[in-house]
Amino acid sequence: MFRILLVDESVSIRTRVRQLLALDLPDAVIEQVGPWDAVDRVERAVWSFVVMDIGLSTGGGLTLLARLRAANPETAIIVLSSLPVEPYALEVAKRGARAYVHKDRASEDLVSTLCHLRRTQP
């Protein structure tokens, strides 16, 4: 069993992503929060993965990524965003994210990315 925390401003996006993951990853415990609660949740519980959007209306997505990494460096962060892959994929990798998945490709790429990272995590 592994734990996934979904972080996005949009409740509907979080719900759709949770449904997508639950279908293909039945052994996962999946919880969802808005960005304003994410750091607290990462500090208080052990998560295998955080799947987060960096395209926040407040503009603080990269800052949130840094705060989540600082809160628990062992948690693998996957960015799921509608922002352009270039230049953001490289930027989030520099800041400690393990992967970048564009929201348009979530149904094709998110589960496979999680499975790959799960197999290769220490």
Q: What integer pLDDT is reported at residue 78 of this predicted model? A: 97
What confidence category does residue 56 fall into, taking pLDDT thresholds of 50, 70 and 90? Answer: confident
Q: Above pLDDT 70, what percent of the chain?
A: 99
Q: Does residue 122 carry a pLDDT above 70?
A: no
Of the pLDDT bands very low, low, confident and very high (cuts 50, 70, 90), residue 121 is confident
Q: Where are the domains of the chain?
A: 2-120
CATH 3.40.50.2300 fits 2-120, yes or no: yes
Share of the chain above pLDDT 90, in %: 89
CB-CB neighbours of 76 under 10 Å: 19
Global pTM value: 0.94
Q: Is the pLDDT of residue 30 over 90?
A: yes
Tell me the β-bridge partners of 20: none
